[in-house]
Every structure is written in C-alpha cells, then in structure tokens.
Structure 1
Amino acid sequence: MEHAILKHDLAIIVPVLGDEEALAELLLQIDQWPSKPAETIVVSGKPNPLVAEICRDRGCRFIDMHANRGARLDHGARQARSSVLWFMHADVCPPRDGLTAIESAIASGAEGGCFRFEFQGSRTWFKRLLEWSVALRILLGGVPYGDQSIFMRRDVYLECGGFPHQPLFEEVRLVKRLRRRGHFRSLACAVRVSTRRWERDGWWSRTWRNRWLALCNMLGVSAERLAGAYHGRDADDADHDRE
C-alpha cells in the first residue's frame, strides 16, 4: 500500500554539540530552499546560548538536553509533530530538492531511506574512491550512518523502537529493523559531508579507524567503550561522521 504525505509535512532533526558556525550555515541553506519543512528541531547536548539564539533567529525549535546522541535524536523525533522525520548532521550540505526527493520516495511506498554520500570541496580521486566504497557497502547491505541523512515515516520510527540511547552507532539497530520491513530506499541525490575530520586526522588514517570501530561494534563491543576511542581527540565528534 502506498503512503502519501502532505506537502512539507516533514521535520528536520539536528543533534548538535557545539558547531555554532556549521549550524548557522545549515539553517541558512534550509531558509533558501524553494520548499520548507514544517519543523526544524535542534537538540543540543549541552547548554549553548549561541545555538539557542541561532535557532530563535531562524524560527527553529531549540531543545537543551544533556544526554548522549541517541537519546537526543530519539527525543527530537518524539517531540516532532510531522509525519516524516529527516535526521541531519549540522555540518552537511543537504540537496536543495531533498524534501521533494523524500516526499516522492514516501509517496511511492518507501518507509524510509538515506541519501548518497558525497564529500564537500574539490573533487579528487581519493574522495571518489571513498564515496564509491560507501556506495558499494550500502549496496551490499551495509548500514548507512547518520551523515547520510537518514529519513523515515514517524509511525514507522515508533514501530521500530526509535534510536537506542547510546553515544555511538545509534542508527545501526534502527536501520536494520527498518530494512527488514523491506521498504528502505537509497536516493540518487547526494548529501555533501564535511571533510574537516579527515583532513585533521589524515584521509586513510580516519577511514581505517572508522572501519575498525564498525568492526568492533559488529563484534559486540559496547557503544560506550567505542565512544571513548572515537571521541578521544574531539568531543564534538559525537555528532559527526563515521564513514
């Protein structure tokens, strides 16, 4: 059975831990889209008057919640009133036609999905190689992470149990449950991901580190233990990429 949604009946949910400049740029992009979401909800992991002010200026809902990222995403989702949820990192460049792409996917029977992974900045061979490896992993049944801007119907989100309240790999269980339902869609349009952590840590070092963490997670190492290793150099990594 196909499920149509009302135009713009969608909530964007953005977890942040700092990242004032990136959030301001993201919200400016959204304001410039030809169509707008019904709600934009920003959930901060620490008190941040500047983020609160940015949200007020852009007409967004600001929630201050001292909790791990999974708990913040879940709280934002349950606070939303819209029938579709779009989870987005603060430092991505989402496609201008993302709302239309999501609405079309939902209207054609998808219960949820993700966008194609693409790096920001100049095009280089190693960026293309890493993008290709992500696409291949998803094609072979791998889990898309949060930097691919996952979306889903709100009722399906609740039926699947929502995000577990954990600091890392919080999307894995949810996406696996969603995929088992058989209506998960990988969209052709790309969300462009910030390169700053790869540039800081080194492209290959960052990539292998992320793959090692994913393997440990698959082998059952706790998210809390992995978060200590993942966030060791930069606490704000709590809301960013693991490709």
Structure 2
Amino acid sequence: MFSFSAIIPCYHDEAKLADLLNQLQSLPHRPLEAVVVDGADDKACREVCEQYGARWLAGEPCRGRQLLAGAALAQGDVLWFLHADNRLPPDPVTAMDLAIKRGAVGGYFRFRFDTPRAWPALLLEPAIALRCRFGVPYGDQGLFMTRQAYAGAGGHSPWPLFEEVSLVRGLRRLGRFLPLREPLFVDPRRWHRDGWWRRTWVNRNLALAFARGVAPDQLAVRYRSTTT
C-alpha cells in the first residue's frame, strides 16, 4: 500500500479538528501522518495536534499558502488534502490506494452533506456531482494525488479561495483524476447558518466572478462580507 499524508488547514476550528484527527487514528488503514497547518498560530490547535500525534505547523491565514506549506512538509507517497470539519467514510485510504494502483494520478471523494441534513441537500448533491464531472471539485471533497503529480501540476495556488482550480486542471492534463464512489461528508453548519439557497447563490456568484478574472483576494473580502 502507498503511504499517505493527510494535510489539513485549520483556522480556529479545534473541536472539528480534534474529531477529524480521532477519525484518522481509528481507520482500519491509517495514513502515515497528519500534517496540520494552523493559520491562527493558536496554542489550542497545537495542543490538539499533540494529543492526537499530528504534526503542527504555523502558517499564514490563507488556505492556499497553508496547503502549500503542508505539502512541502509531508513525507507520504500520496498527498491527501482535507478540511478540518470533514467526516470520513469507513476506509478512505484503501479506496485511494486502489485508484492510484489502477493508474490514476489522483482523485476526489463524492460530496455528501453531513447531518443535520435538510431537503435542499437532496437537490444540491447531484448538482455538485455534475459540476465536478465537467468543472472542478473543491477542497472539501478530499482531493488526493501522488507527490509527483502534485509537483507536476504546479501545486495549489497561494490564494485564500479557489486555490485548487489550477491544480485540478493540471492534474487532469497529467492523467486520470478519478471521482470515487465513497462519500466524504461535509459539515452543513454554514448552509444552516446562512440559508441553503443563499449560501449556494453566494458560492456560485463567487465562482462566476473568479471565472471572469476577479482576483481571489477581492473575492475573499466579498465572501466574508456575505457570510458573516
């Protein structure tokens, strides 16, 4: 089996991070390591990492730069990027390992909202799956790839939003970037907080603005103003 490095950016989300690190430790096939890049340089985050045996690294409060820093530190054959509030399927490492052994350069998990769910999730999940087939899966879907493919595709962009877009496009140029059947569960708290349709509308407008060439730093300011 390939060795896997789980790379997790975090920013003041220690409770969710602790739950994710506990899940990683409980898997039937565990990653070689978990690397947490803390954008808040927070003592509480460092203590959580020490408790669960994860590597802790202080970073800038910018997700793209956090992911780049984590990838530079990671030692595994395969880099697996997670969000701190993801919930894992029963055996994700085996699923990723099989995809790589079948010749894929990498892939991503199926998007599924975690509990508590609401009826809009039943419409949004297939729409997101369709978007991923023809567009770009985002970082909350557990993107994974070989170390060589990550370097060959240019790594993450050093941006606060849409940092994975150029990476995924580069990976698809290198080879097969596979969707897995296994779901990765995404915390719906922000959809509940902002409203399911409002949150979706904001996200799509940001994506369209990015496609038109608006700078990610400007979009991050817009994102914070519309979701707080």
Determine the C-alpha separation between the residues in 2 that align with 1:215 and 1:60.
37
Runs of 4+ in 1 over 6 A off after TM superposition: none
Q: Is 1:83 the equivalent of 2:63? A: no
Aligned pairs, number: 228
Q: Deviations over 1:116-142 (max 9, x none)?
A: 000001554311110010011122x11
Q: Deviations over 1:11-68 (max 9, x none)?
A: 0000001101000111111111111100100000122111101101111100011241
| Most deviating of 143-152 and 67-76 | 67-76
1:164 Cα deviation after fit: 1.2
Q: Deviations over 1:129-183 (max 9, x none)?
A: 10010011122x1100001110000111011111111111000010011112231
Counterpart pick for 1:103 among 88, 97, 100: 97
Q: Match of 2:217?
A: 224
Counterpart mapping for 1:136-155 below 5 A: 136-139=130-133, 141-155=134-148
Determine the C-alpha separation between the residues in 2 that align with 1:47 and 1:133.
36
Q: Deviations over 1:65-93 (max 9, x none)?
A: 12411011011001111110000000010
Structure 2 residue runs of 5 or longer lacking an equivalent are none
Change (3 A) 1:100 1:225: same
Change (3 A) 1:53 1:27: same
Determine the C-alpha separation between the residues in 2 that align with 1:184 and 1:201.
32
- 8 Å Cα contact 1:8/1:37 also seen in 2: no
Structure 1 residue runs of 5 or longer lacking an equivalent are 1-6, 236-243
Match of 1:170, SS state, is coil
Aligned-partner residue type, residue 161 of structure 1: G
Q: Match of 1:205?
A: 198
Change (3 A) 1:122 1:48: closer
Q: Is 1:163 the equivalent of 2:156? A: yes
Determine the C-alpha separation between the residues in 2 that align with 1:132 and 1:8.
31
Counterpart pick for 2:55 among 57, 61, 69: 61
Q: Match of 2:35?
A: 41
Determine the C-alpha separation between the residues in 1 that align with 2:78 and 2:14.
26
- TM (norm. structure 2) is 0.96
Q: Match of 1:21?
A: 15
- 8 Å Cα contact 2:112/2:183 also seen in 1: yes
Determine the C-alpha separation between the residues in 2 that align with 1:210 and 1:116.
18
Match of 1:82, SS state, is coil
Match of 1:35, SS state, is coil
Q: Is 1:119 the equivalent of 2:113? A: yes
Determine the C-alpha separation between the residues in 2 that align with 1:122 and 1:46.
28
- 8 Å Cα contact 1:43/1:72 also seen in 2: yes
- 8 Å Cα contact 1:35/1:99 also seen in 2: yes
Determine the C-alpha separation between the residues in 2 that align with 1:138 and 1:195.
19
Q: Match of 1:4?
A: none
- 8 Å Cα contact 2:194/2:227 also seen in 1: no
RMSD: 1.3
- 8 Å Cα contact 1:8/1:38 also seen in 2: no
Counterpart pick for 1:70 among 64, 70, 76: 64
Counterpart pick for 1:179 among 172, 181, 192: 172
Aligned-partner residue type, residue 193 of structure 1: V
1:96 Cα deviation after fit: 2.1
Match of 2:155, SS state, is coil
% identical equivalent positions: 45
Determine the C-alpha separation between the residues in 2 that align with 1:207 and 1:224.
20
